Amino acid sequence: MADCRESIKNLSEYIDGEIDPELCAELESHLKGCTNCRLVMDSLKMTVKLCRDGICEDLPESLQKKFEQKLAEHWKKKFGRI
């Protein structure tokens, strides 16, 4: 799996520890080679942590959407397209 958008879809499950082992391995190998996805993962992890600590009021279901939006913006800036 070398596709960033696919990886991003799996990141929230990965962070929750609910991803299946095969996908997990693919995702980890993608993250090793992809700085953008690592950055996105770090910010997602941070958001998830804040939510769990009750600091952020967002519902977990809204996280992925926000996250995809954030990545899309990041991508547009970098590549001019998604």
CA distance 37 to 27: 10
Closer residue to Zn ion (CB): 37 or 48: 37
CB of 21 to Zn ion, least distance (A): 20
Binding mask 9-38 for Zn ion (x = CB under 5 A): -------------------------x--x-
CB of 74 to Zn ion, least distance (A): 11
Per CB under 5 A, 4 contacts Zn ion? yes
Residue-by-residue DSSP string for 10-74? HHHHHHHT-S-HHHHHHHHHHHHH-HHHHHHHHHHHHHHHHHHTT-----HHHHHHHHHHHHHHH
CB of 68 to Zn ion, least distance (A): 13
Residues that bind Zn ion (CB under 5 A): 4, 34, 37
